[in-house]
Structure 1
Amino acid sequence: MTHAMLRLLIADGNDRDGRAKREAAVGQTTSQAFAAVVSDLAPEAVCTLVNPADAGAGIDLAGFDGMVLTGSTLRLAEDGPAVRRQLDLMRAALEAGLPVFGSCWGMQVAAAIAGGEVGENPRGPEYGFARRLAAVGDGAAHPLLAGRGLAWDAPAIHLDAVIGAPSGARVLAANAVLDVQAIEIRYGRGLFWGTQYHPETDLDELAAMLRLSAEAVVSAGFAADHAAVEASAREVEGLAGDDCPGRRQRAWRLGVGADVLEAGQRRREIGNFLASLSTARGVEWRERDRVAR
């Protein structure tokens, strides 16, 4: 699809320490990685990156077609200034009428400001992949999930989750581990679409995130020790390129298919969000042209 030129504000959910750890492990911050995905999907989009966790970030929402709030190592239960600043940003963006997309932390922040419940998932965390995701309610017909099949897997790294959806929200997808894997929230004049899983995360990044989460993965009982986490991370890393030797065998061992392996399918929800923004932008331009005449 051809996208009208979009102006996107991409807000990094990490604080300064989290950004430094992420950059050391992956070579770029979470917002930089997200902007690279947007550029792949919509090369004409203009992305402005901000760090709302930092004091004095001075974020001006004027002039943007939409906003993204990325994942984060922060937890809402910590309730420090870095958390509260992001709650304030999400509230301001939606009250201003901006369309917003968020994954993982971004979805949790949106749910929290709208009155939902966020906390440690009683059914446990997901590290690596969220398995057998499926549309629920009217999710199968929702534009966020356009192109998704009856079930799919996706990259996921989380302990906390939305464990109680805000009143009036539309829960769009779930799996056996979590009842709220994708959601639509209307708040103020704005509209939020989000996922608990990470459609933006490339597989080499996922491997690095597993390494960063090694202690938590072991504590959750998913791996016996850090060496086992490293072995799993290497398997995921070996899926990252079409020409990686043994990719087909690794995919078979990990039980993943095209929804994980092919970037266009893995990033489906982001592409759908950008398409919705582009449609809205095109309508705005046509209306301006009509008025000018």
Structure 2
Amino acid sequence: MPRLLLLEGNTAEKRALGAKIGVRSSSQIYAEAISTHFPDLEMDTINGADEDWAFPEGRGFGDYDGMVITGSSLHAYDSEFAVTNQIELTARAGETGMPIFGSCWGLQIAVMAAGGQVEYSPMGREVGIARKITPTDEGRGHPIFSLKNRSFDAPCIHYDEVTRLPDSATLLASNPHSKVQAALVPVGKSTVWAVQYHPEFDLQQLVQLYRLYEDAMITEGFFVDKDSMHAYVRKLDRLIAAPDDMGLRWQLGIDDDILDDRTRNGEIIAWLESEVL
């Protein structure tokens, strides 16, 4: 059976903090999403943000059939080891020609590895649900969106975005917040399928993020106060428990784009079926 490598984007400190408050690591979220559709796939994780990172059991890139670059709270334009090492690892993986998929942080460091540019978004944070993501002409003809509608919503959280794609890249989708919501990014001998949003996230992860970034949600104007945010999160909790509740779907503006596992995870499924399996 094929074996995947998951490049965890967060530092040991961030992973420990998340575990303490019950937030899954980026690689755990990906492993769970992939296992839902491909239970027999084998997966290993490397913690590329850590100075003592290592392949498990002496393996190397050549022992894997594909690599997934997960999310991270880091900034792709910073010069600290936790960032530059992951860009270097992505470049090294690309030299093997292996299939690579990335979301959010994965898109950004692939772009950096290929000579593009990432900056703080002038629109500020996009959080919770990225609305009205629309494939370009190239995107509509690409298998990455084979399980998606012509325009769709997706889970997200980011405050940085790609401001310049490498010349060799292909823009696949945009929305009103960020021009680059999906792209094909050649890195070495590989072409990274990458998206700015998080197709691996479920609603429970969004609830955890709202609670984790509660103060920022208010200071950045997403909610007027904690009571309004808590009321919104309670509705999300109710929708998780009753995903067919049409009233909650309507009130929250959430439908099968988010609630159906196969639709939400569609880009990951398409990559695995087209590039890995």
State which drifts further: 224-233 or 209-218.
Answer: 224-233
Q: Report how many residues are paired.
A: 273
Change (3 A) 1:265 1:213: same
**RMSD between aligned residues:** 1.6
Within 2, Cα distance between the matches of 1:180 and 1:154? 14
Per the TM alignment, residue 258 of structure 1 is displaced from its structure 2 partner at its CA by 1.0
Within 1, Cα distance between the matches of 2:164 and 2:155? 22
Point out where structure 2 has 5 or more consecutive residues left out of the alignment: none
Give the letter for the 1:258 counterpart: D
Instruction: Establish whether residue 28 from structure 1 lines up as the match of residue 24 from structure 2.
Output: yes
Within 2, Cα distance between the matches of 1:54 and 1:17? 9
Normalising to structure 1: TM-score of the pair? 0.88
Within 2, Cα distance between the matches of 1:234 and 1:20? 26
Point out where structure 1 has 5 or more consecutive residues left out of the alignment: 280-293
SS in 2 for 1:88: helix
Instruction: Establish whether residue 46 from structure 1 lines up as the match of residue 42 from structure 2.
Output: yes
Q: Check whether the contact 2:46–2:54 (CA below 8 A) recurs between aligned residues.
A: no
1:268 aligns with 266
Within 2, Cα distance between the matches of 1:92 and 1:125? 31
Within 2, Cα distance between the matches of 1:23 and 1:93? 28
Change (3 A) 1:22 1:234: farther
SS in 1 for 2:239: coil
Instruction: Establish whether residue 254 from structure 1 lines up as the match of residue 266 from structure 2.
Output: no
Within 1, Cα distance between the matches of 2:166 and 2:232? 36
Residues 86-235 of structure 1 aligned to structure 2 (within 5 Å): 86-235=86-235
Change (3 A) 1:133 1:79: same
State which drifts further: 224-233 or 184-193.
Answer: 224-233
Normalising to structure 2: TM-score of the pair? 0.93
Within 2, Cα distance between the matches of 1:113 and 1:170? 15
Give the letter for the 2:39 counterpart: P
Within 2, Cα distance between the matches of 1:179 and 1:27? 29
Within 1, Cα distance between the matches of 2:76 and 2:229? 26
Q: Check whether the contact 1:25–1:208 (CA below 8 A) recurs between aligned residues.
A: no
- Show CA shifts across 1:89-129 (max 9, x none): 11111112121111111111101111111011112221110
Give the letter for the 1:15 counterpart: T
* 4+ residue runs over 4 A deviation: none
Q: Check whether the contact 1:137–1:171 (CA below 8 A) recurs between aligned residues.
A: no
For residue 56 of structure 1, the aligned residue among 42, 52, 55 is 52
